[in-house]
Structure 1
């Protein structure tokens, strides 16, 4: 018989006593996102309690150095300081006091009352600091020194995203007894579920308890598994003596749960593990962990299976940043992102290319979407020079190797520790495209990946280890077979050598279609469109589009605007295409130009919006005609707070314009609004000559806003950040960039013309009478030169063309009437030409000499 479980009934459930005698209430958790003082830069003595921060900016968390941020490729790199006062009483000093950070990019030094209490390096994983010895009754000054400096021993050393600094995720104060459950110290598994075909399973719980007291004693851990209705379906307990200053990992297995509700994307059934730690009948600590019953199987020949059923990934890659706020988004904004991808019919998200927040995993759990969680071992094209975010993925200096490998393994372990209980997480990915590294470091890359895979198997034997972005190299240094699963990006989907590779695999990126909203009503399959490759192969588990949302990129907005939803979280027409095909929801009628008459203002949430930095509301402004029909007209629009609390990333108001970084397009504009005070807020949308629109919003769970008494927000005028150092340096692209061809002879695939090896080459099939080869630099460049080398001398007839969109092409070299044999070309245009793609179009007919293209290089300057 199931019992309805409450905190007070858990001990009764197991031991049959009439009541719980609890001298304490266990742990206490306090959100610390409100009322911080912030200053950009580095300041001597800012950790000291008496330091004068009265001239600093009053801010709330989550926060980024870059706010307000709107997709510029440049961002501030340096230091920032945060300060806050905590109130503690005498009874608090008898407890263990912890600061929990969900994410700080990328190095944090934490001070309490002028004393350094802890450090953390790594921008995408949380950490916990025990500051008990430094606490005092009364005011306690918390100061955090943060930097986002590039460092040779910290991952990632390179990536195409932006790397803004800041305390960009939540912070909490947690008070516990001296004997307590450790931070993310509990693992929940269902070891017999698969062998029983999902019909029943025990639950295994491994929970680390720490005894920070001076007394050795007996401690009882009581656990219960609770279903979605609040009923306990199984429970057990274990008593253990723990030494003073020691710790113990309880290993408990419950009785079997019959016919558990299985977690899957169509039916994301969740259970809760309730854990309570007792000394006798005294409750010391408690926690609740959400988990699910599901199992995976992944085979090289048949693909992926979930709960025994064949499953095809309809996936999407997702970065975490959003318009205005950059990486510093709320939990609610994170949940909207996941929900928006689910609404379009996607069933898998790849967390590109770093560990996302625990709130993101939780949203995947609850929405029902599988989550590919990725460590930040990341590489990108560009100059492999230390000191910047295009550096070699793996260190070029021997002195940095040990530190870097230790850092990567530590961040991998932190990712697994934090996310391991989430049922949505189905694989741990080691990396993304680490082959973008100095050539001589490839042995080191392979060695580190093997260490990561072994570490993953040790930490979590229930999930596989993937090599993400494994489509290069093509020769002896190939990395795709190092792990249990391979993820092939871009042209990796169609490289002949990787067809049925003998290892479970997915296309982890396809598409890469740059578009401003609204864009075209199309899927953007890219090379997957050939021979209907998007339908998958029996051995391939599916594919994930690049990408879900526009995002900031160090290579400019062209690379950042590849989402099916724009940076402001408004869908492009490609999102509607997927929703139509995947979720069977027909697209709306597209707006057209007309006579604008008024504005409509809508919010994702109007009432009970949390004012603690975990919640916000997404506002959308739409241009309408007199009849209320949506128009594509895009006039200048202003959003401003008329009364009450709240802030946009720019302060109390924000301006949208069609030719601005803060854009209105296709008749719509949007932005998120948050508050750190409770109260009613009136927001107005206005545009010259149009009827205005207003909304009343209600914020809760914070002190009431009182005009003239509460801290007023500061307006933050948006100016696109420019690096002081001129960025206009020539850079070379080609090696390991995506390549596409009309056809390929077996063993002479397209990627061999961009692998850095002059002895290898691409060659089309003999029957291909309209052969072409294309290189995607994945950057918008001001072209300086195109160089190509052929294998041997030959009299080829061809043209060299460039394009910014892979649609409209411009000839820069015409060799169609070549009368001599050549082995190389070097094209240097007389004027600046913008491009992203270069294509070699061969004009020879069937039976003529087949071209042998050995290597192509493109030299240019990255531009917006």
Structure 2
């Protein structure tokens, strides 16, 4: 039976002209009461379609929920349906649906009529539904797929690509004359100790059938609501016209500048008047701050030098996958802030608007990135998977792909441009992982993206993220205004003091299950011991902040300093100790487990899908102290509306996908109906405990009456065959060495050019060279192209999790040798030369299959 939800929209009868309401703008949360079904269902856009067997869900929602870091996930179609009521239609009111994102190809229908389509999974969009509405009952249906598409960005990545309406949706009603979607753009072109000039640009649309004069009144208010600037301007708009109306002026008081230490924000209240009546009101928070990037002295905020100490962050959370609440994003940013970081790289796509709101409010500088990226091992990958060449290899796909990248960049900037936390637009991540024949086209695309970014927002520079290859004349790091070097890029001589503003965009890459080691894991920055702050380097960001799901398997996904359940590993405490001088806690030890302790991050949460409550369970001894024992634990909702990603019960077990480790586990609980919720934690032989939390909202939960999905057991997805294709690693993967002669960097042994080579310093008596494949690989063979003296044997080792296994001893001067390997798992290949000798290593190629 279809669910019909009445949304009472109080459209006043007092109009100056058709469509000019006294209360003109409404933005209604549209997350509750959807129906969902996996698969493609012809006719599901129709009002009379039978959806009685569909799943009842709330947004945000993922195809993959419940999800716990599996490298495999459902790929295909899914449908969403929702009924809603409009009290009046056809009265000049303008209606749209605003989606914060949908992964990744969304077709939207209202009352059976196709009203729009959006392609691209990480940016928001708006769909005008005015002409499709009717008075009374209405239906919105969304046909969505997450299929790999050669013409959409990204074409590759190491995370996962689950489909879904995984961010918030809003129904927006306005008058016929209104500010367009994300239509304000606020800058502060002049900032001094005495004053600040604020410039407010607003895109105003006239949907009336006739021309009208619009009076634009902008009031800038401070954090407590006091007016500090006011602008008024009149413009004549033709019917159907959208015009950018530009206003500016000085604040009437000294500006308070936004910074990580004082994240102060103002609001611009843009009011439109037509015929003396208010036609629209649009409110935009913003901050006043200045930024400057320097090639020789780093980054400056408000004229003060700031070294960027940061972390890379993916978006998915345990159980819920990509379908994270706004509260979840706030906790993520707060965790990074509490560790002492002042900078986040949003890897490697535009994140949820709430993520940037959290950065604004908590004071976290942010690197925002467009989803144009590639990954290693894609050289021989046929078109058709998320491991493909970053730039299309088929000519017919190239034009549409470039349009996709352009579109997503423009949308990213439009959506995020008013956030003071965003200090740069990154155009890519490691786009050099593209088929060699496409590299020049990829470079041309990057140059075009720089122009687009500078045109859309000239107040922030454009960066090339992951710019540490190629090492020859095809360098991409200087295409943009800032370079971000990943992995060995922070250590390679060619990129040290590069003559362009730069950051180490990724370092570390240490795989560890919680609790892990109390150490920073400098990894690629070990050459600097991590602490060295070079005057020409703007900062550095650890890979990575949180564990996340990865198509490359758990080894790659478990590189966070916080685990997937958002419990810090010991590395997080190391950063907090060194960046904030807070000593680490006493680590739990094995003891006699007696009971459980429940803790919540807050006592109540709203029921509109933007909020949740994080629940942590801890194993304790008889004195109430945490112990490291990790028995199986159950959390169960005994009463009330709360649900976990697995329904009303979730089972934690050591070593499982839903893990308990070091005596703790955690999960997020949410609800779409109001009421008190009692949750109990139990474990065999231990004393149980319970807690009561409250969900607040207009619609109460009624036991036995309220229809919601209370059961969603976890079954690890295995429907798609694992990736068993043979991959080639080496070209452009990170490389390291004991030393390097001038002009013979370690990277020259993995650049695809047999004429370039690595060689050690002549005084190096224990020379070695190492390749990082950046994922766990079942190695099949290794090709070594080397020249050594007869008395210079070398040993080849394969490394995984700190353990090295030798393969072969060679006392041979042959230029090229293929060493078969008996399906040995590894992430690193190291070649060790015995004694001081002349050695040239021109190319190393590793063949193998990615391990799940």
* TM-score in terms of structure 2 length: 0.96
Work out whether 1:390 is the aligned partner of 2:381: no
**1:827 CA drift (Å):** 1.9
Distance (whole Å) between structure 1 residues aligned to residue 321 and residue 790 of structure 2: 52
Choose from 585, 589, 600 the match for 2:586: 589
Q: 1:206 to 1:712 in 2, by over 3 A?
A: closer
- Name 1:98's counterpart in structure 2: 96
Work out whether 1:838 is the aligned partner of 2:829: yes
Distance (whole Å) between structure 2 residues aligned to residue 832 and residue 191 of structure 1: 60
Work out whether 1:858 is the aligned partner of 2:841: no
Choose from 608, 616, 622 the match for 1:620: 616
Q: More displaced, 229-238 or 253-262? A: 253-262
Work out whether 1:441 is the aligned partner of 2:438: yes
What are the ranges of 5 or more consecutive residues in structure 2 without an aligned counterpart? Answer: 1-19
- Name 1:769's counterpart in structure 2: 765
Distance (whole Å) between structure 1 residues aligned to residue 89 and residue 715 of structure 2: 48
Conserved in 2, the CA contact under 8 Å of 1:270 and 1:291?
yes
User: SS at the partner of 1:100?
Assistant: strand
Deviations 1:609-638 (A, max 9, x none): 111100001110000000011000000000
- Name 1:790's counterpart in structure 2: 786
Distance (whole Å) between structure 2 residues aligned to residue 291 and residue 769 of structure 1: 58
- Name 1:709's counterpart in structure 2: 705
Distance (whole Å) between structure 2 residues aligned to residue 826 and residue 344 of structure 1: 47
**1:861 CA drift (Å):** 1.7
Choose from 496, 501, 510 the match for 1:499: 496
Conserved in 1, the CA contact under 8 Å of 2:633 and 2:683?
yes
- Name 1:168's counterpart in structure 2: 166
Conserved in 2, the CA contact under 8 Å of 1:782 and 1:833?
yes
Q: 1:425 to 1:222 in 2, by over 3 A?
A: same
**1:791 CA drift (Å):** 4.7
Distance (whole Å) between structure 1 residues aligned to residue 465 and residue 194 of structure 2: 33
Distance (whole Å) between structure 2 residues aligned to residue 91 and residue 274 of structure 1: 28
**1:793 CA drift (Å):** 7.0
Alignment of 1:454-465 (within 5 A): 454-465=451-462
Distance (whole Å) between structure 2 residues aligned to residue 220 and residue 622 of structure 1: 59
Alignment of 1:106-145 (within 5 A): 106-145=104-143
**1:132 CA drift (Å):** 0.3
- Name 1:743's counterpart in structure 2: 739
- Name 1:18's counterpart in structure 2: none
Distance (whole Å) between structure 2 residues aligned to residue 560 and residue 531 of structure 1: 25
- Name 1:146's counterpart in structure 2: 144
User: SS at the partner of 2:396?
Assistant: helix
Deviations 1:185-236 (A, max 9, x none): 110000011xx3x431111011010000112111111111111111111111
Work out whether 1:473 is the aligned partner of 2:470: yes
User: SS at the partner of 2:513?
Assistant: coil
- Name 1:263's counterpart in structure 2: 258
Alignment of 1:323-472 (within 5 A): 323-383=318-378, 384-472=381-469
**1:392 CA drift (Å):** 0.5
Distance (whole Å) between structure 2 residues aligned to residue 641 and residue 531 of structure 1: 50
Distance (whole Å) between structure 1 residues aligned to residue 823 and residue 626 of structure 2: 40
Distance (whole Å) between structure 2 residues aligned to residue 439 and residue 413 of structure 1: 28
Conserved in 2, the CA contact under 8 Å of 1:549 and 1:567?
yes
Distance (whole Å) between structure 1 residues aligned to residue 758 and residue 831 of structure 2: 12
Distance (whole Å) between structure 2 residues aligned to residue 800 and residue 377 of structure 1: 35
Count of aligned pairs between the two proteins: 831
Q: More displaced, 425-434 or 223-232? A: 223-232
Q: More displaced, 485-494 or 755-764? A: 755-764
**1:354 CA drift (Å):** 0.3
Distance (whole Å) between structure 2 residues aligned to residue 257 and residue 798 of structure 1: 73
Work out whether 1:826 is the aligned partner of 2:824: no
Conserved in 1, the CA contact under 8 Å of 2:296 and 2:499?
yes
Distance (whole Å) between structure 2 residues aligned to residue 77 and residue 424 of structure 1: 34
Distance (whole Å) between structure 2 residues aligned to residue 63 and residue 764 of structure 1: 53
Conserved in 1, the CA contact under 8 Å of 2:195 and 2:250?
no
Distance (whole Å) between structure 1 residues aligned to residue 108 and residue 457 of structure 2: 30
Alignment of 1:313-328 (within 5 A): 313-328=308-323
Work out whether 1:68 is the aligned partner of 2:59: no
CA-based RMSD of the aligned residues comes to: 1.3
Conserved in 1, the CA contact under 8 Å of 2:73 and 2:720?
no
Choose from 248, 262, 277 the match for 2:243: 248
**1:581 CA drift (Å):** 0.6
What are the ranges of 5 or more consecutive residues in structure 1 without an aligned counterpart? Answer: 1-21
Conserved in 2, the CA contact under 8 Å of 1:92 and 1:175?
no
Q: More displaced, 275-284 or 567-576? A: 275-284
- Name 1:9's counterpart in structure 2: none
Distance (whole Å) between structure 2 residues aligned to residue 310 and residue 286 of structure 1: 38
Deviations 1:514-536 (A, max 9, x none): 00000000001013122435422
Distance (whole Å) between structure 1 residues aligned to residue 507 and residue 745 of structure 2: 18
Distance (whole Å) between structure 2 residues aligned to residue 422 and residue 770 of structure 1: 51
Conserved in 1, the CA contact under 8 Å of 2:85 and 2:137?
yes
**1:796 CA drift (Å):** 2.6
Distance (whole Å) between structure 2 residues aligned to residue 153 and residue 862 of structure 1: 25
Q: More displaced, 758-767 or 308-317? A: 758-767
